[in-house]
Amino acid sequence: MGIEVKWLEKRQFVGIDSTGHSVVLSSPADGIGMKPSDLLLVALAGCTAYDVVDILEKQRQKLVGLTVEISADQEPEPPWTFRRIHVVYRLRGELDPKAVQRAIELSETKYCSVAATVRCAADLTSEFEIEGPD
């Protein structure tokens, strides 16, 4: 799997994936794209959200909506490693809480490659909430 990152100017970069999608990265001061450490958490959110949708669909659960929120604390000194990462899954639909819990566990322990990678350095915790289908 491969990607490229090119410098535009100042602290602004564009990332290009193998199918040609582009993502703008920048320092917060440049403000036109996410900073790389935000992108790390986005990758984690996407990876685990993807698993949860996939697993719940296989279990024929009627998922209507899903939002994954991640908050993370970094070391105050360089390299500002994330030490605590907390994931909140907000699901909507007619869902069995046991199935949801199992899907999250499977993602965190078995399928999510980003979680498997970052949990060596960071303590990863999670919780979930289910809202009705309306």
Partner 1 sequence: MADKSRTEVQAVWQGGLAFEAANQAGLTITMDSPLAEGMPKGPSPMQLLLMSVAGCTAMDVISILEKKRQQVTALEVKVIGQRADDHPRYFREIELVFVVRGHDVDPKAVERAIELSAEKYCSASANLQPKSEIRHHFEVEQEES
* Residues in contact with partner 1 by the rule CB under 8 A: 1-7, 11, 13, 15, 17-19, 21, 23, 25, 27-28, 31-47, 49-50, 53-54, 63, 65-76, 78-82, 110-118, 120-122
Task: Give me the least distance between CB of 96 and partner 1, in Å please.
Answer: 18
Task: Give me the least distance between CB of 62 and partner 1, in Å please.
Answer: 13
Q: Which is nearer to partner 1, 84 or 96 (CB)?
A: 84
Task: Give me the least distance between CB of 97 and partner 1, in Å please.
Answer: 18
Q: Which is nearer to partner 1, 19 or 98 (CB)?
A: 19
Other beta carbons within 10 angstroms of residue 81's beta carbon come to 13
Tracing tokens 């320092």 back to the chain, one arrives at 27
- Region for 78 from its dihedrals, namely left if φ exceeds 0, alpha if ψ lies in -120 to 50, beta otherwise: beta
Q: Which is nearer to partner 1, 32 or 97 (CB)?
A: 32
- CA geometry: angle 85, 87, 90, nearest 5 deg: 165
Buried b (16+ CB within 10 A) or exposed e, 27-48: eeebeebbeeeeebbeebbebb
